[in-house]
Chains A and B, each alone.
Chain A
Amino acid sequence: MDEIAIIAPEKRLFTPFNIVSGIIVLMGLIITVIRFTKGLGAVTNLSDYNPWGIWIGFDLLVGVALAAGGYVTSAAVYIFGLKRFHFAVRPAVLTGFLGYLFVVIALTYDVGRPWRLPYPFIMQSGTTSLLFEVAACVSLYLTVLFLEFSPAALEWLGLKKARKLAVNLTIVLTIFGVILSTLHQSSLGALFLIAPSKLHPLWYSPYLPVFFFISSIVAGLSMVIFESSLSSRFFIDKMDSAHIAGKDQLILGFGKAASVVLAGYFAIKVIGVSAGDNWHLLATPYGIWFLVELLGFVALPCLLYAIGVRDRNLKLIKWTSLLAVLGIILNRFNVSLVAFNWHLPSNERYFPHWMEIGISLFIVTLGILVFRFIVTRMPIFYEHPDYPEEH
């Protein structure tokens, strides 16, 4: 009896977290039923003028950007040889994998006939479509992330041979992952290239693909910092000494990188305004909103990261990562929702239905629950005792 108590310390079912997430899951299931019996019109405010709402703007565009930590971290460690951050790869790859998995799950709500999602590959391919590129890269990258994550699951299951095989693929998968990420992170921005007449000129730019790719690096770095500070709060008991000893170095290192990339991103955004000769638009209401994004959510986090790294102020870096993440969300919302269809009168514009927000919340909650399930069982924050130091 005592032994059991030690292995599985008293688990309370009705914690505040469980109650809240339980309510959200229940709500999500109810909306799911409505969506698949009554159609999109019953649960969304989408219209013929506004075919894409927050299920694309948040679940797809933001989801994919924030899941960029996987490729950023594994590239840093395996390709650029920053071995001291090795402990951070597994949590980052896991969040990347779950991020993409739930992006795909969210898409099944948004598209009209979700079981046809493989059609571009098995029926006929619209290769002139940027969406084809997105679909191809996301599905391939989801596979790559699954394989990159699999060693942890295989260690948990005790399948040594399969694990060895998966580990041997690491470097190939990492390179493949970076290629696929470059392509689909950028083509998510390129999706909007076809609609110059609908997207506000301050956000529309031939450089949209570059903007999306560079900002995804910021998103990846910031999410790793953000998650690392959350994880060390909630899952510290799961972490091994290497993880605990290294995480401050990680926050400093990634904060430094994020500051540099943000500076570059700021520069190309300014070049974008200049190339489109849109300076005069900055004095309009949309221009002020653009400046809020550029100064408050690009320049400011860039500066704060730099100060945080200089002063070795971990707390500041952690809070800045939240600001940067919010900045990515704001940017994706601006491109897909706020500055899109800006020429339409306000009664023809889109604002999400509460049930759309409900589903997005539901999907995020499911993601967190699965993350918690995995990190409490599999060797994510620690090295499995059977496989020491052989990565």
Chain B
Amino acid sequence: MSISRRKFLGLIGSAGVGTAVSNSVFAASNKHFTGYPESFAVLHDSVRCVGCRQCEEACNKVNDLPEPDQPFSDASVLDKKRRTTAKAYTVVNRHDRAKDGIAPVFNKTQCNHCLEPACASACFVKAFKKTKTGAVTYDASVCVGCRYCMMACPFDIPAYEYDNALSPKVVKCTMCQPRILEGKLPGCVESCPREALVFGKRDDLIKIARNRIARYPKNYVDHIYGEHEMGGTSWMYLSGVAFQKIGMREDLGIKPAPELTSGALSVVPMVAALWPVLLTGVYAITKRKEKIENEEKNQAVNSAIKATKAVAELKIGEALAKAEKEQEEIVEKAVKSAVDNAVKANTEEAA
């Protein structure tokens, strides 16, 4: 495979700048993202839900999922707490409220289609996308199967095909995106006999929900779950009891997931830019220190040599002078004795 120069530059650019200007997830932005305008959503009113599980059955049919172990009409399934799996995009759980003196409450679980999804922010191949219709879609054709989306999802929704050896997928509710594009309702919404599920524009649904709470304040907790949780979701809930009591976390906060990591990501270009400067500086200082040390050493050695040489020369000079003097003396002596001898010989001859 060859990569053109343009594509290569694009890759480099996407690695660095991409973190700051990505538009699929609104990380590291000072804008408050409130969702795509006119996007769709679903409101689940657990006060109306009777746990008939027709939504589960419809979901199964619409998405061509394998038959469940127990038929959908078997109510004993509700005795156990269940979660979404690779074979069930949505599950209804029964929460017994006998302690509160009320009938059991049923709650439906599926992907909440966050406005700024943790899965999309976490995915390193952009397999998840928040679409303008409101659905968070998944593209299995690029998925590597790292399962970081499952780690990231605060609602524990994505499931995985652990039994598939070579082409496992991450699996979650699609909000019936293909049906929405056709102008149809999501399977579960269409099948609900109690209108516990309402599909519509998110803004409208919030108004409907507020309206219900206002009209029946005794029946509802004054909170629309999903309006602000994790920055807001496209699947929202009404409840007659505290949401925590029907298996929903109330400690998630309202910060969208991408904001949790944007700080760490924004440090990347800083490290990449400043570390080389700092390290090269340290290296240069170390080198210079070594150089100066070497120079000083050389200098010291040189001057030591010079000093020794000078002393040696002096000594040699002295020795030479002394030797010369001695030599002269010897010569003088020899000459003197020769002269003396000659004089002696002369006088002897003369005598």
Contacts and interface: CB of A to CB of B under 8 A. Distances in A.
A46 B162 contact: yes
B279 to A, nearest CB: 5
A159 interface: no
Given A48-B150, A81-B289, A183 B271 contact: yes
B297 to A, nearest CB: 15
Interface residues of A, number: 63
B286 interface: yes
B275 A128 contact: no
B83 interface: yes
B147 A123 contact: no
Given A39-B164, A39-B165, A130-B265, A52 B147 contact: yes
A51 B251 contact: no
Nearest to B7: A122
Interface string A30-60: 0000011111111010111101100000000
A128 B144 contact: no
Interface string B151-185: 11010101111111111110000000000000000
Contacts of B251: 197
B144 A113 contact: yes
A125 B261 contact: no
A130 B279 contact: no
A190 interface: yes
Contacts of A78: 283
Given A36-B165, A39-B168, A80-B286, A125 B121 contact: no
Interface of A is mostly: helix
Given A130-B261, A183-B271, A194-B118, A125 B124 contact: yes
A92 to B, nearest CB: 18
A193 B261 contact: yes
Contacts of B282: 79-80
Nearest to B10: A125
A197 B154 contact: yes
Contacts, number: 194
Nearest to A177: B279
A335 B144 CA distance: 23
Nearest to A341: B156
Nearest to A110: B146
A48 B160 contact: yes
Contacts of A42: 163
Contact of B165 (A37, A51, A116, A122): A37
B145 A113 contact: yes
A129 B145 contact: no
Given A41-B163, A48-B156, A183-B268, A194 B121 contact: yes
B206 interface: no
Contacts of B249: 197
Interface string B104-142: 000000000000001011111111000000000000001
A51 B147 contact: yes
Contact of B122 (A48, A114, A178, A194): A194
A79 B276 CA distance: 11
Given A48-B150, A81-B289, A197-B249, A124 B279 contact: no
B144 A119 contact: yes
B148 interface: yes
A178 B142 contact: no
A78 B143 CA distance: 41
B287 interface: yes
Contacts of A132: 124
A320 interface: no
A67 to B, nearest CB: 19
A136 interface: yes
Contact of A125 (B14, B161, B289): B14
Contacts of A175: 275-276, 279-280, 283
B283 A79 contact: yes
A186 B282 CA distance: 22
Contacts of A240: none
A182 B122 contact: no
Interface centre among B150, B152, B164, B263, by most A CB within 10 Å?
B152
A126 B146 CA distance: 13
B146 A111 contact: yes
A198 B159 CA distance: 17
Nearest to B155: A197
B124 A194 contact: no
A26 interface: no
B125 A119 contact: yes
B83 A48 contact: yes
Nearest to A49: B156
B333 to A, nearest CB: 62
21 contacts: A39-B164, A40-B168, A51-B148, A81-B286, A111-B147, A112-B147, A112-B160, A124-B125, A126-B122, A126-B125, A127-B15, A128-B258, A129-B123, A131-B148, A133-B268, A136-B15, A175-B275, A183-B272, A187-B268, A193-B263, A197-B154
Given A133-B268, A175-B283, 11 more contacts: A78-B283, A80-B282, A81-B287, A81-B290, A113-B168, A119-B142, A124-B125, A124-B126, A127-B22, A183-B268, A209-B267
- Closest 3 CB pairs between A and B? A112-B145, A41-B162, A81-B286
